[in-house]
Every structure is written in C-alpha cells, then in structure tokens.
Structure 1
Amino acid sequence: MAEAAWGNGELARAVNRTGTETGQRLKYDASAVSHWLSGTSPAAKALPVVLETLARRLKRPITAFEAGFREMPTPVDKSTDTVSGLIDLGSLDMDPSRRGILTAGLYSVALTIPGWPDVVGRFERLRTDPHLRIGMAEVRAVAAMTERISTLVDQFGGRMARPMAASFLVNTIVPYLRANADEDARKAMLSAAADHCYLTGYMAADERHDSLAQRYYLKALELAGHAGDHLMYCTTLRGMSVQAVNLGHGSTALRFAEAASSASPQAGPRMRAFLTGQQAHALAQTGDKAGALLHLRTAEVAMDQAESKAKAGGRYDPSSLAYHVAQVNYELGDREGAIRAIQHSEKVRPMVYRGTRVRHRSMLAEWQIEAGRLEEAVQNWHLALDDYLAIQSGRADDRFRSMLSATRPHRRNPHVRELLERARPMAGGRGSARTAQGAMT
C-alpha cells in the first residue's frame, strides 16, 4: 500500500471497481482494509481481486505472500508439463458444468510471459503412447480443423465454436502430441497445436472471458516455442496486445506488442505491418503521438510492400491496417479522421468477417454520434443489427449495450425510437446481452 501510495479507503474502492469485472459486488470500505492490516485475510473469492488490484497499480505480479495474506510462498508445482496443462484447461472448458471455474478469473495486467529463449525447443513428453504414431497427414488434419473452426468464428462468433475447439484439443490434439513421430512431424504438430490454442484464446477473448483467453495464449506461446515457430510465437503476443488494448490497458498492450516485435527481427513485410500497426495503436492509447504516427507510417510502407508481391494474402490486409489508422486517429483526438479510416476499412474488408463487421459498424456509429452525426450513426447501427442476431459474441454484446447508452439522450428522435424498437426483441435471450433489457425501458 505504501508503494501504491494508497490509503485504506483508496485500496477498498479500487478493489470494489476491479471486482465488478467478475460480477462480484464487493462493498469493502476503509475498515475492511484495517482488518487486513491487522492480520485477517479477504474472503477466498475476493483475494484474487485484491491481488490483481495491487498488481495493476504497481505494474508487476503480486502474490498473496508478498501482500501479507500468507505466511509462506505458495509452492510451485513443476511437475505439470505443457501437455498436462492443456488437458486440464481444455477439459474444464468443454464441460458446461465446470466452465464457470475458468471464466471467473480476472484479466492480469502484470502477466509474466515466457521469453522466446525460455521456451524454444524445450518440449518434453512425460509419456509417449507406443501404440500411436503420427505423420504429416495428422498435422494437416489438425490444421484443417482449426481453419474450419476459424471460419465458423468469423461467421457466428466465438461463443458458439469454443466448446468444439476445446473438445478437439483434448480428444485429438493432446493424443497426437504424445504420439511417436519423426522430428519434422513432431514440430509441425506442436506448431499446429499452438495455432489451435491461439484461436481458442481468441474465442475466449471474443466471449469476454479475458483471463481464460490469457491462459490459452500462454499455452500457445509455450507450444510455439517448443515447435521453434517464431511466427506463431509473435502472432500470439500480438493477439495478447490486441486483447489488452481493447480492454483499455495501453501500457500492457504496448509491452506485448514490443515483445512481439523484438522477437521477430527478420519478419517479412506483412508481418512487420501486422506488428507495427498494433504497436501504433498501443502507443496512441498511452498518449505517445509521435511514436504512434511513426509506427503507423512504418506499417503502411510494409503493407505496400506486402501487397505488391505476387501472392499477396493473409489475415492482416489493407482493411486491418485501415482499422489501425482509425484507432490511432481516434486515440489521438482526430475523430473525423478515425471515421474516414474505419469507413474505408469497411469498404475493403471481405464480407466473410461478419463478427468484425458488427463490431466495427457499431464503433463507427458511436464515433458518428459523438461527432453530432446522429442520422448517419442510426443508419450504421441498423446495418450492425442486420447481422447481430447471427453472432454469438461477448464483444458484439458490448457494442449492443454501448448503442443503448449512446442513444439514451436522443430517445425522442424518431429515427432513434425506430432503432430502439427494432433492437428491443434482440435484448433478451442472448447470453450477456440480457442485461441490456433493463436499459431499454
């Protein structure tokens, strides 16, 4: 508390704010903190909230021992290997009755990420199945399944597809990781498993289970290192940066983005655009205008180089770069520039990315209403609602709630009334969107 420069009341209020992320209505006050200082400990469900609150303030991990709530450090179990960790994680995630255990955690801003030298080439299989041998055919099957699930996520959102991905991880990928294989097939399977974990983490983030997404991302980093797959390692770090910046943790986003960039000194032009575009967004969110604009220019040059090559392609395309331009402009206060950039992004984005379309059209509408362009905003919200019911996504639900909040001062406008009447039936029966129903009355 001394290091954080917090008094009792300030710590209590900060803990209460952090607790809302897990749905806990904590009501701590200065007297509760006085009890902690006297030797009592917070309730078991609240202790992780207290530790994460301190970690966010001090920008480093805080253990229960360091905070004074334990007499001894918690022993570290080093017997859990990467594969066993995957089984534990996937098994919980594929079981609806136990999934709440995973999703109740808090997003950590002080998460320790394994460096490339710490994970590269260090995979050890504790058990090998002598009855199973795999080759490149199995690797291609895993990659194809991951790609199919990715397509489903683009079309229908992460909430629908993640249980399927977790089941495939436990029942198919894990046995393959323990199978006999030659060195090339073994590394290729590790890389394919890393890609699948990355996608599953992305789905958890899309559903707004942010601490769970971090756990999948960490497994993806480990697997990518074991495979010697630099590209997958950097892609995962960049995904972790995207998650952090979406949650408003600019410093954490910048830390992950810079780690990704420093781990890929020989990246090609598309990868450079991929990484520096994300750095630009994170720098803008932290208020570094010069750095953000410099990285954005670097990303634009790299994208031009990538698009000029004969076989241009990849998920980071001109629409993705235009989105980063929009976000940088918005963070730096250029709302009109942000609106133009995200409109361009929507024009050039392939139509298959329906979930992205819902979120970005809603974001465009929010920016337009901030700029006083109410009728244009309503039109874009209608376009977003065209696809909204088909998307099972916590992030899309967030945008739906933002629409309700942004239009509240304009409810007497006939265009807004028409929009809200259309949205009313959509507020019920949609997972996390149900909480929006009360906001419409």
Structure 2
Amino acid sequence: MDPSRRSVIGAGLFSVALTVPNWPDVVGRMDAALKGRTQRVGMSEVDMVIAMTERVSDLDDQIGGRHARPMAAAFLVNTVAPYLRADAPDHVRKAMMAAASDLCYLTGYMAVDEGVHGVAQQYYLKALELAGASEDHLTYCTTLRGMSVQAVDLGHGQEAMRLADAAAAASPDAGPRMRAFLAGQQAHAAAQTGERNKALRYLREAEVTMDKAESRAKIFGSYDPAALKYHTSQVRYELGGRVGAVEALQQADKLRHVVYRRTRVHRRGLLAERQLAVGHLEAACTTWNLALGDYPLVQSGRADQRVRNIFKLIRPYLGNPAARELYERARLVTPAALLPAK
C-alpha cells in the first residue's frame, strides 16, 4: 500500500482521540488493538518490528525524516497493523503493542522533523494509547516529552509545560538519565513561559541527575551531556541571556564527538544565528559553513529552515568577504525550490 494515498492515521485501527490520555486512562487496555483471525504471530514478529524500528531510527538520525518517514508509515500500514489484529498469546500481544507504540512515536518524531505537525500529533496520540495498552511506561513518558518538545519549538509554552509536567508525573520511579531527560524539557518550557525560578530549578535538577546517570551504565542513551547543554542554551536564551546561550551551544558542539548529521545541521545553524545576534559575524559564518558541509546529505524540514535563515540573516552583511563567500556557497548547495529570489 502506498502510504501517501492511505496513511496509517487514516486506517480505522489508528483512529485517535482529540485529547491526550492520562496514564491511568490507558494502562492495561488490551482491547486497544482489534483482535482478528487473519493470522497468528509470535515473538519473532515482535523482534522483527523492533529491529525495523531501530533501522528506520538510524536512517532518520543520519539523513532526516523526509525519506525515512514514508518507510515507517508503509511498514505500519502493511505489516504492523495486521500483526495487531492477529491472534496471539496475551504476552505476545502486549509486546507487539509496545513495539508498535515505539514505532508510532518514531514516526511522529519524523513528522515533526518534516514539518507536518498535525500528522505528528496524531501519531503521538496513537503511541500513547498503545503504550498504555501494553503498559510501556518508558514510551508513554517519552512520547509526552516529545509532544512537549514540539509545542515549545512552535512557541506554545503553556502547552509545552503541561505536557512536560505530565511526562514527569507519569514517571515517579524514573532513573537518573530519564529524570534528566524530563527535567531538561521542563526547564525549557518554564523558561519560555517566563517562569525564571522554576526554569533554573528544573535545569539544576537536570544537571544533578545527569551527573548521577553518567556515573552508571547508560540506560537511556538518547539524552546525554551534549543534549543537556542544548537545554541549558535554550533556557538561557528564553531568559534573555544571549551570550550564555551561545556559550552553552558551543560546549554542546564540542561535547558531541560523533553526532548525527541532522543534529549537526540543526544545532550548528541555530548556533550561527545566535552568534550573529550577539555581533560575532565571522564566527557565525564559520559555524554556518560547518552546517553546510553536512546539509546536502540531510533530508529534513528543520535543516531546510536553518539554511533558509542563512539567506535572510546574512544579506545585510554581504559587503563582508566571509559573509559573501558563505552566501554564494549556500546558493550552490541549497535546492532550487528553497532559494530566495535574487
């Protein structure tokens, strides 16, 4: 099935509610997936879904969501949905729903990267429902946190705070890395709503719990010291500390020795914008050039936006040789559809 013609969101199995369900409302609902008689599945099918999700996630990290998301959507419609309707022992059904929840979360995350935010929210809601049905606390909390990230990046601070708080409330027994993961997002959302003391308190909590996490074996590898520095930068920026925001992003860039291309383009683009905002034109040009080195290998709406910003922000400085060189290089590597009119 072509996912562009009939997406997983349109299938009856994946109809969603308009409100975010709380953990007690969804936990243990084994009827969240319709049971059918089309086939019988076992743990080998569950393992295959998990492996496919990991593979798509790797592709997304390296090249962005534009190419990887259609793969995930097709896999959900053509393979995972029939598995959810199939006969299986209860423990297999729960495991399959947990695997499907993780894949829905990933697909929503890729939709955010692509810039189709309504679609992303529907995938996220389905991830919450399936996580509750399978009692997968980790994916439930991670999805709420992802929804908060989406909201704060779109400037909806109050909603971002509500979602971040819901994620934290649903994980009272979280380990230190997960706790840092959630507190960092709470800090960013609080800063955007102007709650300075609250934001700094959450940021300090994230720093303390990250120190504890780094002293142990990694249990939640998607949040690391570089990600915490990114949150530090966001909090400082929202609270008016532009110079401190630049410093924290620079530290994040140095900490992440092996980073995914999409993240490099996005965060280096953001760093360059903030360097320019504090008057560091040539430093900004150097950072933007680093981002442009990876950009042709990435298919990402967020990366596209960072590159579009180059043309708008650097135009007043084209009398500077470094700025002019950057501008011409950006025109060479940017798809024609994204180029500004001359």
Same fold (TM over 0.5): yes
Q: Could you say what secondary structure the match of 1:351 adopts?
A: coil
1:222 aligns with 2:129: yes
Shift of 1:336: 1.5
Structure with greater Cα Rg: 1
Q: Could you say what secondary structure the match of 1:437 adopts?
A: coil
Partner Cα distance (1:118, 1:399) in 2: 39
1:280 aligns with 2:187: yes
> Structure 1 388/117 Cα, relative in aligned 2: closer, same or farther at 3 Å?
same
Which residue is equivalent to 2:307? 400
- Extract structure 1 runs of 4+ deviating beyond 6 A: none
Partner Cα distance (1:311, 1:200) in 2: 24
Which residue is equivalent to 2:320? 413
Listed as ranges, the matches of 1:285-324 within 5 Å are: 285-311=192-218, 314-324=221-231
Mapped contact 1:361–1:384 kept (Cα < 8 A): yes
Q: Could you say what secondary structure the match of 2:297 adopts?
A: coil
Shift of 1:310: 3.4
Mapped contact 2:56–2:68 kept (Cα < 8 A): yes
> Structure 1 436/253 Cα, relative in aligned 2: closer, same or farther at 3 Å?
farther
Shift of 1:392: 0.6
Shift of 1:151: 0.5
Partner Cα distance (1:230, 1:126) in 2: 21
Which residue is equivalent to 1:153? 60
1:330 aligns with 2:237: yes
Q: Could you list the runs of 5+ residues in structure 1 that have no partner in the other structure?
A: 1-90, 103-110
Higher RCO structure, 1 or 2 (CA under 8 Å, sep 6+): 2
> Structure 1 275/403 Cα, relative in aligned 2: closer, same or farther at 3 Å?
same
Partner Cα distance (1:283, 1:205) in 2: 21
Query: What CA deviation, in whole Å up to 9, does each residue of 1:351-407 have, x standing for no partner?
Result: 241101101001000000011000000000000000011111111111111121111
Shift of 1:199: 0.4
Which residue is equivalent to 1:370? 277
1:340 aligns with 2:243: no
Could you state the TM-score of these two structures normalised by the residue count of structure 2? 0.93
Give the RMSD, CA atoms, in angstroms: 1.7
> Structure 1 364/191 Cα, relative in aligned 2: closer, same or farther at 3 Å?
same
Listed as ranges, the matches of 1:167-316 within 5 Å are: 167-311=74-218, 314-316=221-223
Q: Could you say what secondary structure the match of 1:303 adopts?
A: helix
Which residue is equivalent to 2:37? 129
Shift of 1:350: 4.8
Relative to its length, the structure with more helix (as a share) is 2
Percent of residue pairs identical: 59
> Structure 1 308/145 Cα, relative in aligned 2: closer, same or farther at 3 Å?
same
Which residue is equivalent to 2:331? 424
Amino acid aligned to 1:129: R
Query: What CA deviation, in whole Å up to 9, does each residue of 1:163-203 have, x standing for no partner?
Result: 11001101111111112222222111111100000000011
1:436 aligns with 2:342: no
